[in-house]
Amino acid sequence: MRTQVGIIGAGPAGLMLARLLHLQGISSIIIENRSRDYIENRIRAGLIEHWAADLLVELGVGDRLKREGLVHWGINIGINGELHHLDFKALIDKRVTIYGQQEVVKDLVVQRLADGGPLLFEVDKVSVHDLTSQQPVIRFEHESKAQQIECDFIAGCDGFHGICRPSFPDGKSQVFDRDYPFGWLGILSESPPPDHELIYSYTERGFALYTMRSETVSRLYLQCDHDEDIANWSDDRIWDELHKRLGGARKLAEGKVLQKGITPMRSFVAEPMQYGRLFLAGDSAHIVPPTGAKGMNLAFADVVFMSRALEAFYTKNAGELLDGYSAKCLRRVWKAQRFSWWMTQIMHRFPDETAFDHRRQLADLDYLTGSAVAAKSLAEQYVGLPLD
Ligand code: APR
Ligand code: PHB
């Protein structure tokens, strides 16, 4: 097989890149090691920044998002049971859209197939070769047959556990990371959310987040130990803790638990995001803790930059944007890293925190909810910094 851009991974990054390239007349092949059913049903966060929702609509993949997405013009911050509303409309006149990541993936898969593919599922034994040549190669197995794609560029959109980042030669990649001493236990529940907007709730018992997928389905998270075993959390125990962490600020309706799981919390960046003709995008290059809901949005920003660089290469034979790809992405990535770390550290209880840390944290929350300037800074970052 031969194409211009070989895309490894059909998550939000790979699928969005394929759509952007298609609209620019650049050919691509996507290979994905999971099944279509698996990628379309993997439950992840579901918050889309202002510019990213507009982009999905502009790219022709936003019809269902416009119909079913929940547009939010603010969030609530709970501090030991007292709710404070941050009004994004008044602060910065921007919004976010709540729409599950797997719904974005479904819409992008439908579009990819309508664009004529190719999109190969359940590939195996993927490897990348000749990265510093003009003609890198992807080898893999599909339906038990060995295959190869010769391309001009490889887009490594294969997530945190993919093979692209580890294919950088020794010494050509530097990692910056931080683990947090807690995780998030998340449930999807058939019950109405306790408020029409999200509630980020700091309590002495730990953090909780009340979000949603629709008017009738809630997504609820609890801070838990980083090595927590989900088997220790019966539905009754989860509801009991959620009620306590909402602190009576709103009434929380219980419902059938449709899914539950634990999300690890990690900050991670690999630099640079390119080696030869292999370019990383999304989770393959960086991970943020979910507190700021930046994961999918960062993946979208990366592939916008990558598609612009590829367009400049193919239409003007200009390589500067490709050469500057990593630096361009990392400026945005590090600001989102800082914001996600900051949101995480003000909202959670840390097992090793000192009395000083605790007082400082409460002061941080008090400042955020008492100062229009502080609230504006959060709002600007939460809805997504401008792309350029
Ligand atoms: N070959 C082919 N595909 C692979 C391989 C491989 N060797 N390894 C992993 N993949 C696939 C995964 O199965 C997955 O479908 O690559 C895809 C990567 O998708 P995501 O993990 O969704 O990553 P990305 O597209 O960067 O999206 C970032 O995902 O983790 C969330 O919070 C994060 O919302 C953010 C988003
Ligand atoms: C979600 O809806 O799953 C969600 C929203 C906001 C976050 C994290 C997750 O910060």
Beta-carbon count within 10 A of 333 CB? 21
Q: What is the pTM of this model?
A: 0.97
Contacts of 236 (CB under 8 A, 6+ apart): none
Task: Report whether pLDDT(43) > 90.
Answer: no
The per-residue pLDDT for 247 is: 86
- Written as six digits, the tokens of 353 are 């925190």
Query: Stretch 270-286: mean pLDDT, rounded?
Result: 98
φ and ψ at 108, to 5 degrees? -70, -35
Q: Residue 292 — very low, low, confident or very high, per pLDDT cuts 50/70/90?
A: very high
Element housing 209 (H / E)? strand 208-212
Nearest one of 246, 247, 259, 176 to 210, comparing CA atoms: 246
Query: How far are the Cα atoms of 224, 230, 294, 349 from residue 227, in angstroms, in the given order?
Result: 8, 9, 23, 16
Mean pLDDT for the stretch of residues 305-326: 97
126 has pLDDT over 90: yes
Query: Which amino acid, one-letter code, is at 103?
Result: E
CA distances from 204 to 201, 227, 236, 280 (A): 10, 20, 21, 40
- Residues paired with residue 286 on neighbouring β-strands, in sequence order: 269
Reported as a pLDDT band with limits 50, 70 and 90, residue 59 is very high
Q: What is the distance of C-alpha 253 from the center of its chain? A: 28
CATH number of 180-265+353-383: 3.30.9.10
317 Cα: distance to centroid of ligand 2 (angstroms) = 41
Torsion, Cα 83 84 86 90, to 10 degrees, reads 120
Q: Report residue 189 as tokens.
A: 């529940």
Ligand 1 centre and the CA of 158: distance in Å?
A: 4
Q: Which ligand is nearest to the CA of 261?
A: 2
3-class SS at 29? strand
Across 72-79, average pLDDT: 98
Domain ranges of the chain: 5-72+96-176+267-342, 180-265+353-383
The CA 360 to ligand 2 mean position distance, Å, reads: 25
pLDDT at 200: 98
Q: Comparing C-alpha atoms, which of 342, 264, 336, 262 is closest to residue 300?
A: 336
Give the residue, out of 77, 221, 265, 294, with the most ligand 2 atoms within 8 A of its beta carbon, to mutate for a pocket test: 221
Active site residue 294: yes
Cα angle 222, 191, 187; round to 5: 30
| Other beta carbons within 10 Å of 136 | 20
Q: How confident is the model at residue 248 (pLDDT cuts 50, 70, 90)?
A: confident
Q: Can you give the pLDDT at residue 67?
A: 97
The CATH fold assigned to 5-72+96-176+267-342 is: FAD/NAD(P)-binding domain (3.50.50)
Which residue is catalytic, options 12, 193, 194, 290? 290
pLDDT in tens, 331-379: 999 999 999 999 999 999 999 999 999 999 999 999 999 999 999 999 9
**Consecutive H or E run containing 344:** helix 325-347
